[in-house]
Amino acid sequence: MTTRTPPSRDHGESDRIESAAAYMADQLCRGFVHHDRREREASADAFAAVDRLQFAHLDADEARKAAVGYVDALWAKDAVEESCRENGTLDPDALASADWSRMRAALERRATVAGIDPRYAELTTEAWIEHKIGGDYWTPMMHAQMIELRTALQDSTYPDKPRHGQGGFGPEPTRYVLGNELHDTRQWEQARETMTPYFRRIAEAHGDDLLTAYDAVGASDSLVSDVD
């Protein structure tokens, strides 16, 4: 095993890395905010902005298709939830036995386009179902994000822990689950701050290629000021 050492960068480049990471975290949160508001196209735009930067091995059209797969999965999830709602309340038993195949198929499309291990779709489906029925959603979610992150980093050895504590999925997938909890409680600024180091890891790995793509899209306004 090896210990990861971030490349040496000058102050200006480090600032750009941090700015790009914050932008990606912001766009991720915006994607979920637009989903909550039922703004499908805006949600796809935000998630596509993230995928365009985090998946450096994809071109812009492929990144958009990957993001649309994710958005399609979110809307398919919502449709299942609505079919399992009684008097305004979700029925856990109905959710557990519902047909989630459309949602899973959309996640599979995302995985195929982005070159993510197919287990990502299976694990994310499990996580989303468990999240709604009150089960352990965090374990499959962290596992799924470890798989996605390996693709983003183009590093199949992540988390590449240098010591004997080899259990777990790595710090970045753990941050992702915390971000999800903050989403549930609508603490968007904390979610953005939590996810910035997740994307910093990716930005550091891609370096100049990601910064060039980031410079082409520019910066985002603060998330806090425009979230209900």
pLDDT in tens, 112-152: 999 999 999 999 999 999 999 999 999 999 999 999 999 99
Inside any domain, residue 45: yes
Q: How confident is the model at residue 161 (pLDDT cuts 50, 70, 90)?
A: confident
Gap between the terminal Cα atoms of the chain: 45
Question: Residue 205 carries which side chain, given as an amino acid letter?
Answer: A
pTM for the full model?
0.89
Inside any domain, residue 82: yes
Task: Tell me what percent of the residues of the chain surpass a pLDDT of 90.
Answer: 79
Distance CA 198, CA 159 (A): 12
Radius of gyration of the CA atoms of the chain, in A = 17
Judge if the upstream peptide bond of residue 159 is cis by omega within 30 degrees of 0. yes
**Tally of structural domains, the chain:** 1
For residue 35, the enclosing domain spans 12-222
Inside any domain, residue 228: no
Q: Which tokens belong to 49?
A: 């902005």
Average pLDDT over residues 141-169: 89
Inside any domain, residue 189: yes
Inside any domain, residue 55: yes
Average pLDDT over residues 196-201: 97
Query: Do the Cβ atoms of 54 and 152 come closer than 8 Å?
Result: yes
Distance CA 138, CA 116 (A): 19
CA distances, 54 to each of 27, 58, 126 (Å): 12, 9, 24
Residues of the chain by 3-state class (helix, strand, coil), percent to 5: 70, 0, 25
Inside any domain, residue 1: no
**Number of neighbours of residue 198 by Cβ within 10 angstroms:** 26
**Does an H or E element contain 64, and which?**
helix 60-83
